[in-house]
């Protein structure tokens, strides 16, 4: 989810638009800020529908992914995030995945 839009300022002399700050995105479940430019610091998932547009999700943790699963309706298929042994980011490790699985109610 987008938390903040890009901020631009127009130069009064040349008319060129300068970027003051980038847009800020957050987790679609809890709203924690995530950096979409770093592919290893968040999870990506997509819910594909048979008769409507696909939904894309950016999530900060496995806990948020499993919370999302309890709130969406899947009528075609769901693209699960990649489970990677390379990441050490809190909330995204394999241990965090299994911890989130155990917490499913």
pLDDT tens digits along 34-69 = 887 776 689 999 999 999 999 999 999 999 999 999
Tell me whether residue 39 is in a domain. Answer: yes
How high does pLDDT run on average in the chain? 90
One-character DSSP codes across 27-43: -TTT--EE-TT-TTSSE
Confidence of residue 88 (pLDDT cuts 50, 70, 90): confident
What is the structure's pLDDT at 3? 87
Sheet holding 77-79, edge to edge: 55-59, 43-48, 77-79
Q: How far apart are the first and last CA of the chain?
A: 26
What is the structure's pLDDT at 79? 94
Tell me whether residue 19 is in a domain. Answer: no
- In the predicted structure, residue 77 carries a pLDDT above the cut 80: yes
Range of the domain at 93: 26-102
Q: Please state, as a whole number, how many other Cβ atoms lie within 10 Å of the Cβ of residue 45.
A: 20
As a whole-number percent, the residues of the chain with pLDDT over 90 amount to 57
What is the structure's pLDDT at 48? 95
What is the structure's pLDDT at 39? 63
Tell me whether residue 10 is in a domain. Answer: no
Confidence of residue 12 (pLDDT cuts 50, 70, 90): confident
Number of domains in the chain: 1
């Amino acid at each position: 989810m987008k938390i903040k839009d890009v901020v631009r300022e127009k130069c009064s002399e040349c008319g060129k638009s300068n970027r003051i700050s980038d847009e800020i995105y957050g987790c679609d479940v809890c709203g924690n800020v995530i950096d979409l430019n770093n592919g290893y610091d968040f999870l990506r998932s997509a819910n594909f529908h048979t008769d409507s547009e696909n939904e894309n999700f950016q999530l900060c943790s496995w806990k948020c992914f499993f919370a999302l699963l309890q709130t969406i309706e899947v009528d075609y298929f769901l693209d699960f995030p990649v489970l990677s042994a390379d990441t050490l980011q809190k909330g995204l490790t394999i241990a965090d995945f299994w911890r989130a699985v155990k917490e499913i109610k």
